[in-house]
Structure 1
Amino acid sequence: MPDVFINEIHYDNVGTDAGEAIEIAGVAGTDLSGYRLVFYNGTNTPAAAPAYDTLALNGTIDDEGAGYGALSFARAGIQNGGADGVALIAPDGSVVQLLSYEGSFTAAAGTPAAGVTSTDIGVSEDPAPAIGLSLQLTGAGSSAADFTWAAGQASSFGSVNAGQSFLSATGTGRISVADAQVAEGDDGVTQLVFTVRRAGGTALAASVDYAIHLDGTATADDLAPGAALGGTVRFAAGEASRTIVVPVHGDVVGEPNETLSLTLGATTGDVVVDVAHATGTIVNDDPIALSIGAIQGEAHRSVYVGQSVTTTGIVTAVDSNGFYLQSAHGDGNDATSDGIFVFTSTAPTVTVGDGVSVAATVTEYAGDAQGLTLTELTRPTVTVESSGNALPAAVVIGQGGVLPPSAVLDDDRLSQFDPTHDGLDFWESLEGMRVTIDAPQAVSNTNDFGETDVVASHGQGATGVNDRGGITISPGDYNPEKIQIDDDSGVFAGFHPGYTIGDQLSSVTGVVNYSFDQYEVIATEAVSVTRDVTLAREVTSLAGDSNHLSIATYNLENLDTSDQKFDVLAGDIVYNLKAPDVIAVQEIQDADGAGSGGDLSGTVTAQGLIDAIYAQSGLHYAYVEVAPTVAGSTGGEPGGNIRNGYLYNTDRVGYVDGSAELITGAAYQGTRNPLVAQFTFAGETVTAINVHLTSRLGSEPLQGADQPAVNAGDAARTAQAAGVKAYITEHLADDPALNIAVLGDWNGFYFEDAQTQLTDPAKGGVLTNLNTLLPSEERYSYLFEGNAQQIDNVLVTQGLVGGASYDSAHLNSQAAGERPTDHDPQVALLFVGAAPSDLTLSHASVAENLAPGTVVGTLSATDTPNDTLHYALIDDAGGRFAVDAGTGVITTTIPLDHEAAASHAIVARATDSAGAATEHGFVIAVGDVDEAPAAAADAVRVDEDATSPNLWATLLGNDRDPDAGDTLTIAAVDTQGTLGHVAFDAASQTLRYVADADSFDSLATGATATDRFSYTVTDAAGLTSSATVEVTVTGIADGITRTGTIFADRLTGTAGEDRLSGGLGNDTLSGLGGHDRLIGGLGQDTLDGGDGNDLLFGGLGNDVLRGGAGRDALFGGLGNDQLWGGAGADSFHFGRIEGSDTIGDFDTAADRIVLDDGLRVLRTQVSDVDRDGVNDLRVTFSGGTSVTLLGVSDAAKVVYSGPDTDSGHLPGLDGLLDEVGDILVGLAGPSRAEILHPWL
């Protein structure tokens, strides 16, 4: 029989199906008369798929090269759906091929291919591709087995495919080998058969050597005795296929599948080897004892598929066609499920809590070709070992248990199993197990199948939970933490869900299942509502005003005149959307809706909505569209001819006549062309582009076998958006300031290529999606499978971004029950009006010293009529002025001072309701007002019985007159209560204070008393001010000063501050009370300071100094002196070459040693110097000076300081010469003035 085969298929595309056909390829010259194509629909009954049509073939295949060609056969209405296909039947009734797409099936009895199971070609047109694409065989060869099916190829019906090369029988042949497998068998020999094919070159004989390698898990023991491990395959002329048979030895040992490999080697004849390697699998057909965790493994598919296993567990749930089995204790591996579904096909006889053993075959059940699989045990033999067992503990999902991944469904194309990172792997790791969803919150309404999507723990730990209780997708996050809970009356008849979004439930316990392309939990226990939520339909806060154009987009979902939803939609527009100025509407149908009438205009339908709006509001709307010209060319409901249009409020905006046009191009074939129209508002023109891109219908399941899932129509939407981009680019080139808004139903997400090419600057995008003004979790207009998502969008050029506001008005997407459409309308406010101008101030001066709140003037500006202005001060002159935001009245905040500043600069701003603003600077003058002077308090110092200098200028120097250039004078003094007296003469401008009060005579030297008087100052205008002068009177010295002779003198002071100098001779000086200054001079003198803080200078000689009570300073001078500080904190001063002194009463807690003249401590020594049994401290200084501290033994306690800067005494020899000078002066006459120590 000639080699003919199905070579190309097209059965579905976006929009209305077009160009459906089947192509047959084969050897040129083959007459196809008698061949038939039989079409099968296996969607509902894959085990017995019926034939729904037959197409008789005819014609002869032409030679398109290498002796092969193709013929095309059109057939409209080819089924698209799960497990549909077509059979090629030969004239003799044999089945040449039975191919299927989207799953496999078995042809029903009584059909031409009865009993034959279809071969799934592995590709499909789901999701539906653009028109002009098809499924094709590609590669090189000469028969069907040599080629590979590929999707999305440019249609080439009636000719050999572009990616296909036929090989001539007289050319070089290409040899390949395919993998093989065989069931092992229990005994005897089974045959593992490898097929070796030759494509092309069949006109001549050829051969190829081969070798069998035991490099897998198979060993020589698994092969029959004497099995050949190599040989040669020989092709006779005309032969395209040969086989290599490897004999396999059967056994009854349960074991994993075993593998070996085959390689092709040297050839003879005109052939080359294309595929040289194949794997042979010996499939185990004996039961293997495995735990459920081992059967499941760390993968979506079990490695034991097709093998017989035995396992044990506890029955956790029973359904009508099987039961769930879970290991009693598990394997301790979180990545492997401990549960599995046992498929019995009929009602099982086990009950929950039974402990059973099961012998069965491992199967991966696929509900459809696009979904993941469910690991099952099929054809089971079940033995009940016990009953009434406790069920394995349920895994808690949520807070306090395990949290699903919250962002990634899968990011490795299911190539790695990572339940902690990938959501699909997480739920797979729990497949068949008992779980408890902690405190679920519904993120979808319960659908007609009893399914509700939820997140655990009221959404804690989930990302994207929106403010209405749903969960929103975002870039890279398709909500893997979301899980569907399902009712199954066969499992648990007591669960009757009817939840709405936001409802919070008691924890849900059940078993994890995978069904209809989604993971789910089948409830096995009762559930209650803990918080019942009813979502209100939102009302937007965005309304147009004098500066803002309000625009909206609303998909009306196949609106036609027969619908009963006009009033609801009108209410949405008037009340919930605040009557937008321009509304881009989608899915307006023609006058007869889904009928077949020839009037394709949608104006009658739109007028019905306009009338309903007017009836509810009195608002006048008009409608503009460009109607389809060909019926059925825009997709949607058959006959409806949906299109885009605009409703606009004629009282607010104007339509630019004739501006409505369609953006055209091949990308819009079979769908809606974007509708362009221009509208005027506030003197500006806005260009609107209304889009309704290709549907996502037919997309692969989000939780399916292909990751990432392929979105139907993605390429078409990207091409259609590219057409919009080209239109915008062209028009912006002519007018870069053009205001453009692109809005509508994009049937795609803001982060997909279709839109990012318009919004991403890196891709040349110049638009901004206004939904970015919302948090990512609030960006949604549609709900699909529990995922809130934004498919309705508003994009604008940059001139419309500033001052824009945006709202997704959630009216319908989350609504339970009846709703006019499943889309949420989108509303945007665009600032279009002019900014305020001509900002003025009615009055710009104010007198000084007025109370805060004094009105300066009023701001005003020119703006759009009826707009509201808001006033503010951008510069308020350091807080000196304030403005009323509503009235513009400027007032002072403090009294102003002309003399400080004769004017102040401010900057004011006027902002309109749109946020547009103007600014202007003003100078506010401060008027001068005559003001009284301000006299300031003064302080002066005078010695007792002395007269101050003239205080006139001193006192006036501190006084102030606020008025610049004014002259002040002293008008009077007030001496009431003054102790001294004031000599004042205004004419001569003199004012002196005399400290002549008797009470001042008793002041000790340096002691002070306070006196005061006041005076009045007047300015040129006669305004006055008074102030007080505080006088500090200081007592002066009143002790005696005496100097001795050249003989031994005895000088005695008084109770005052005495100055005693011994002169020459061995003198005795006694200061008595007071702060005395005693100078011994030359000779061996004795100085006694007595009470008071005294200064004692020994001079030259071995002197004795006693400070007495008080804080004394002792200077021994040259010689070996005896020093006693007496009571009080005393200081002992030392300089160079001052001998070896002794301190008789050094108090380490109070006294100190002062080192002058650069002295430093050289060493210390402790010994009993005076032999009184008490240790003493000898301190040796640099400069030839030392001192012994009697009774002091701890050198660390001695405090040192210096040098001396207060006494005026010079240390060492210099000090001696200075004292001699003082003595000689004293002997000659009155003492010179002495520098007083500040301690005195």
Structure 2
Amino acid sequence: MRSSHPRSAAVAALVATALATGLLAGTADAAEGAVSADPIRIHDIQGTTRISPLVGKQVADVAGVVTGVRTYGSRGFWIQDPDADDDDATSEGVFVFTNSVPTVAVGDAVKVSGLVGEYIPGGVSSGNQSVTQISKPVVTVVSSGNALPAATAVNEYSVPCAYAPEGDAAAAGSINGLTLEPSRYALDYYESLEGMNIAIGTSRVVGATDPYAELWVTVKGWENNTKRGGTLYGSYDSQNTGRLQIQQLAPLAQQPFPVANVGDKLTGPTEGPLDFNQFGGYTLVARTLGTVKPGTLAPEKTKPQAEKELAVATYNVENLDPTDPQEKFDNLAKAVVENLASPDILALEEIQDDNGAKNDGTVSAEATLTKFTEAIAAAGGPAYQWRTVNPEDKKDGGEPGGNIRQVFLFNPARVSFTERAPGDAVTATGVVKENGKAALTHSPGRIDPANPAWVDSRKPLAGEFVFRGKTVFVIANHFGSKGGDQGLTSATQPPVRSSEAKRLLQAQAVNGFVKDILAVEKKAAVLVVGDINDFEFSGTTQALEDGGALYSAIKSLPRSERYSYVYQGNSQVLDQILTSPGIKQFSYDSVHINAEFANQNSDHDPQVVRFRP
């Protein structure tokens, strides 16, 4: 563990004072300190840690050149001192928060007086780092049309390979009080450039353009590459230091944001201030935006199952309900038929009730499933039947009023469903021995729905299927989300992943149920499928696999192909299919049709396993 810096206690006290006065929460009503008698430079304000040594103080006539003006969102402008000091840990740029459309222009030389504060995007509870800023500004324009300070080049040579220092144990794991080491840690390097004019050259896109007009690139073209051009998050220590979020300063009405997919190139220079925001951490807010050069990435198509192979898939269809456009149903249906090759069994997650987010007590999903299965048939797919258990109203989390649940679709021409006293929302299915074989007491049925692990979360759906005379048990899951976890760029390092505790309990419950089946029938074919909301290397997956009961089949793929989701430029696993020991040989495919593309029908990629029971 890195030892705490001598200034840590003092800075921690400073942070505590700032929190008490509201500065770290971004409020502008704190008591204003005395004006400093000495000329203050921007690097004096930024200091050598993440928290300004002048937080809560008034500063006067801070000089700089305007490098960027933001007229929307958090309105204000960035200034930079062109006369840098010789300390790499101190940034020469700072954000001036005006709260209204600024009246300055890029290239203006200005003097700014105001209140130094630390604004935490998302608030203190988010765990995010703070942005040093000057608020309540009085601005004097000294001259206009000045040359901008030369942009600092951010590239594979300048960004360190280590991601972040370990937080100060005496400060609850915070890195706020540690002196920045920009040559050693990537987060320290980016922090040492906070508010400064930076530039990247041609870079590969690793996170597609999203609905909020932002994308992700990597300045390290060699770092943990996926087979299709992304950047793999393959362990908790593979944060991928070259990732950087890109936004633009120009309002979208004036300049549309480019549409890019993973593997495309953002060519030419992209230049502007380095910001820190709530949802992406360090972000280059482009004053000059490069041009997207499209790649050749195309949605994948899995191979069809052989006649004697059973194909089982899982797909999170992202809050599907009858109020969605017919186009969404048609596109999802086309993917089932053409990209997933019409699997024999398809477990769906996030099927909403018959009126979607309308919160009126409706729990049936009959209309949703009728519309979807009809769209699949119209796309040339099989006449799927479905089985599910409707949840209790407002008991399973997800979008309020939506009552999401898991559903089995199956092709009756290939598979039969064994109906055994269908369960309801509160009745647990169990395992019994029937003619020497394992059987469910309720099929479909829910696993241990009264277990506290499933409070405000989706309960697993178990079903018994028969393929060519062989029984296959399928358990469809949608574990608790990662909501509440701290981000990779958190002020606490390593970040706190509080949501894991619930998923661990959920995994233990499912693992225990699988062990019940295997205790009755050692060689039973059991599949645990769905949106596990956790990585293949996580404690959640280890708990599912405990005792050799299951194996996460995505680990059978080459590492560069192990992902189902892209978040903040990291390609990662959330969706999984786990197999019991009785399934000795199988082929697995993570079918990449959504996560890498700006145009998505869902934010998840479906998973398919094929085997001979």
TM bracket (short chain): 0.7 to 0.9
CA deviation after TM superposition for structure 1 residue 812, in Å:
2.0
Structure 2 CA distance for aligned equivalents of residues 616 and 450 of structure 1? 32
1:806 and 2:575 correspond: no
Secondary structure of the 1:436 match is strand
CA deviation after TM superposition for structure 1 residue 710, in Å:
3.8
1:774 and 2:565 correspond: no
Return the match for 2:389 from 626, 634, 659. 626
CA deviation after TM superposition for structure 1 residue 312, in Å:
3.5
- Compared CA separation, residues 671 and 285, structure 1 to 2 (3 A): same
Q: Deviations over 1:1105-1143 (max 9, x none)?
A: xxxxxxxxxxxxxxxxxxxxxxxxxxxxxxxxxxxxxxx
Structure 2 CA distance for aligned equivalents of residues 631 and 558 of structure 1? 16
- Compared CA separation, residues 491 and 404, structure 1 to 2 (3 A): farther
Corresponding residue number in structure 1 for 2:258: 497
Kindly indicate whether the alpha-carbon contact (under 8 Å) linking 2:112 and 2:138 is maintained by their aligned counterparts in 1.
yes
Secondary structure of the 1:799 match is coil
Q: Write the letter of the residue equivalent to 1:479.
A: N
1:297 and 2:47 correspond: yes
Secondary structure of the 1:294 match is helix
1:715 and 2:501 correspond: yes
Q: Write the letter of the residue equivalent to 1:695.
A: S
Corresponding residue number in structure 2 for 1:746: 532
Number of residue pairs aligned between Structure 1 and Structure 2: 549
Kindly indicate whether the alpha-carbon contact (under 8 Å) linking 1:442 and 1:501 is maintained by their aligned counterparts in 2.
yes
Q: Write the letter of the residue equivalent to 1:643.
A: R
Corresponding residue number in structure 2 for 1:408: 163
Corresponding residue number in structure 2 for 1:340: 94
- Compared CA separation, residues 324 and 657, structure 1 to 2 (3 A): closer
Q: Deviations over 1:956-977 (max 9, x none)?
A: xxxxxxxxxxxxxxxxxxxxxx
Q: TM-score, normalised by structure 1?
A: 0.41
Kindly indicate whether the alpha-carbon contact (under 8 Å) linking 1:410 and 1:423 is maintained by their aligned counterparts in 2.
no
Kindly indicate whether the alpha-carbon contact (under 8 Å) linking 1:491 and 1:524 is maintained by their aligned counterparts in 2.
no
Q: Write the letter of the residue equivalent to 1:301.
A: I
Structure 2 CA distance for aligned equivalents of residues 502 and 307 of structure 1? 46
Secondary structure of the 2:207 match is coil
- Compared CA separation, residues 391 and 624, structure 1 to 2 (3 A): same
Kindly indicate whether the alpha-carbon contact (under 8 Å) linking 2:159 and 2:189 is maintained by their aligned counterparts in 1.
no
Corresponding residue number in structure 2 for 1:893: none
Kindly indicate whether the alpha-carbon contact (under 8 Å) linking 2:218 and 2:243 is maintained by their aligned counterparts in 1.
yes
Secondary structure of the 2:301 match is coil
Structure 1 CA distance for aligned equivalents of residues 166 and 302 of structure 2? 38
Instruction: Give the number of the structure with larger relative contact order, counting CA–CA contacts within 8 Å between residues 6 or more apart.
Output: 2
Structure 2 CA distance for aligned equivalents of residues 374 and 302 of structure 1? 9
Secondary structure of the 1:443 match is strand
Return the match for 1:824 from 597, 605, 609. 605
CA RMSD of aligned residues (A): 3.3
Structure 2 CA distance for aligned equivalents of residues 372 and 299 of structure 1? 11
Corresponding residue number in structure 1 for 2:510: 724
Corresponding residue number in structure 2 for 1:480: 241
- Compared CA separation, residues 302 and 677, structure 1 to 2 (3 A): same
CA deviation after TM superposition for structure 1 residue 436, in Å:
1.0
CA deviation after TM superposition for structure 1 residue 403, in Å:
2.7
1:327 and 2:81 correspond: yes
Kindly indicate whether the alpha-carbon contact (under 8 Å) linking 2:361 and 2:401 is maintained by their aligned counterparts in 1.
no
Structure 1 CA distance for aligned equivalents of residues 551 and 544 of structure 2? 8
- Compared CA separation, residues 679 and 395, structure 1 to 2 (3 A): same
Q: Deviations over 1:1031-1090 (max 9, x none)?
A: xxxxxxxxxxxxxxxxxxxxxxxxxxxxxxxxxxxxxxxxxxxxxxxxxxxxxxxxxxxx
Secondary structure of the 1:614 match is helix
Corresponding residue number in structure 2 for 1:689: 475
CA deviation after TM superposition for structure 1 residue 571, in Å:
1.9
CA deviation after TM superposition for structure 1 residue 532, in Å:
1.8
CA deviation after TM superposition for structure 1 residue 822, in Å:
2.3
Corresponding residue number in structure 2 for 1:398: 155
Structure 2 CA distance for aligned equivalents of residues 515 and 618 of structure 1? 44
- Compared CA separation, residues 379 and 559, structure 1 to 2 (3 A): closer
Structure 2 CA distance for aligned equivalents of residues 445 and 386 of structure 1? 40
Return the match for 2:68 from 317, 321, 326. 317
Secondary structure of the 2:336 match is helix
Q: TM-score, normalised by structure 2?
A: 0.80
Kindly indicate whether the alpha-carbon contact (under 8 Å) linking 1:440 and 1:507 is maintained by their aligned counterparts in 2.
no
Corresponding residue number in structure 2 for 1:429: 192
Structure 2 CA distance for aligned equivalents of residues 492 and 633 of structure 1? 41
Q: Deviations over 1:589-628 (max 9, x none)?
A: 3444445677744345334433333344363432222233
1:578 and 2:341 correspond: yes
- Compared CA separation, residues 366 and 686, structure 1 to 2 (3 A): same
Q: Write the letter of the residue equivalent to 2:463.
A: A
Aligned residues: percent identity?
36
Kindly indicate whether the alpha-carbon contact (under 8 Å) linking 1:660 and 1:678 is maintained by their aligned counterparts in 2.
yes
- Compared CA separation, residues 488 and 449, structure 1 to 2 (3 A): farther
Q: Write the letter of the residue equivalent to 2:152.
A: V
Q: Write the letter of the residue equivalent to 1:743.
A: V
Kindly indicate whether the alpha-carbon contact (under 8 Å) linking 1:403 and 1:461 is maintained by their aligned counterparts in 2.
no
Kindly indicate whether the alpha-carbon contact (under 8 Å) linking 1:495 and 1:527 is maintained by their aligned counterparts in 2.
no
Corresponding residue number in structure 1 for 2:7: none
Structure 2 CA distance for aligned equivalents of residues 307 and 653 of structure 1? 72
Q: List aligned pairs for 1:506-545, cutoff 5 A.
A: 506-517=268-279, 518-529=281-292, 531-533=293-295, 535-541=297-303, 543-545=304-306
CA deviation after TM superposition for structure 1 residue 288, in Å:
3.1
Structure 1 CA distance for aligned equivalents of residues 576 and 277 of structure 2? 33
CA deviation after TM superposition for structure 1 residue 362, in Å:
2.5
- For structure 2, the residue ranges without an aligned partner over 5 or more in a row are 1-19, 168-172, 421-442
Structure 1 CA distance for aligned equivalents of residues 68 and 373 of structure 2? 57
Corresponding residue number in structure 1 for 2:119: 365
CA deviation after TM superposition for structure 1 residue 496, in Å:
4.1
- For structure 1, the residue ranges without an aligned partner over 5 or more in a row are 1-97, 107-116, 119-181, 184-282, 833-1240
CA deviation after TM superposition for structure 1 residue 765, in Å:
4.9
Kindly indicate whether the alpha-carbon contact (under 8 Å) linking 1:495 and 1:526 is maintained by their aligned counterparts in 2.
no
Structure 2 CA distance for aligned equivalents of residues 728 and 473 of structure 1? 29
CA deviation after TM superposition for structure 1 residue 647, in Å:
1.4
Return the match for 1:559 from 320, 345, 363. 320
Structure 2 CA distance for aligned equivalents of residues 782 and 815 of structure 1? 11
CA deviation after TM superposition for structure 1 residue 708, in Å:
3.7
CA deviation after TM superposition for structure 1 residue 692, in Å:
1.0
Kindly indicate whether the alpha-carbon contact (under 8 Å) linking 1:607 and 1:623 is maintained by their aligned counterparts in 2.
no
1:790 and 2:573 correspond: yes
Flag the structure with larger Rg.
1
Structure 2 CA distance for aligned equivalents of residues 680 and 781 of structure 1? 28
Return the match for 2:231 from 447, 468, 471. 471
Corresponding residue number in structure 2 for 1:1194: none
CA deviation after TM superposition for structure 1 residue 554, in Å:
1.0
Secondary structure of the 1:704 match is coil
- Compared CA separation, residues 765 and 316, structure 1 to 2 (3 A): same
Return the match for 1:641 from 403, 406, 430. 403
Q: Write the letter of the residue equivalent to 1:686.
A: V
Q: List aligned pairs for 1:103-142, cutoff 5 A.
A: 103=25
- Compared CA separation, residues 427 and 105, structure 1 to 2 (3 A): closer
- Name the structure with the higher helix share: 2
Secondary structure of the 2:608 match is strand
Kindly indicate whether the alpha-carbon contact (under 8 Å) linking 2:548 and 2:581 is maintained by their aligned counterparts in 1.
no
CA deviation after TM superposition for structure 1 residue 528, in Å:
2.4
- Compared CA separation, residues 783 and 617, structure 1 to 2 (3 A): same
Return the match for 1:286 from 29, 33, 36. 36
Corresponding residue number in structure 1 for 2:217: 454
Corresponding residue number in structure 2 for 1:911: none
Structure 2 CA distance for aligned equivalents of residues 361 and 483 of structure 1? 29
CA deviation after TM superposition for structure 1 residue 381, in Å:
5.1
CA deviation after TM superposition for structure 1 residue 561, in Å:
3.9
Q: Deviations over 1:165-201 (max 9, x none)?
A: xxxxxxxxxxxxxxxxx98xxxxxxxxxxxxxxxxxx
Structure 2 CA distance for aligned equivalents of residues 601 and 354 of structure 1? 61
Q: Write the letter of the residue equivalent to 1:317.
A: G
- Name the structure with the higher strand share: 1
Q: List aligned pairs for 1:13-24, cutoff 5 A.
A: none
Kindly indicate whether the alpha-carbon contact (under 8 Å) linking 1:721 and 1:755 is maintained by their aligned counterparts in 2.
yes
Kindly indicate whether the alpha-carbon contact (under 8 Å) linking 1:305 and 1:363 is maintained by their aligned counterparts in 2.
yes
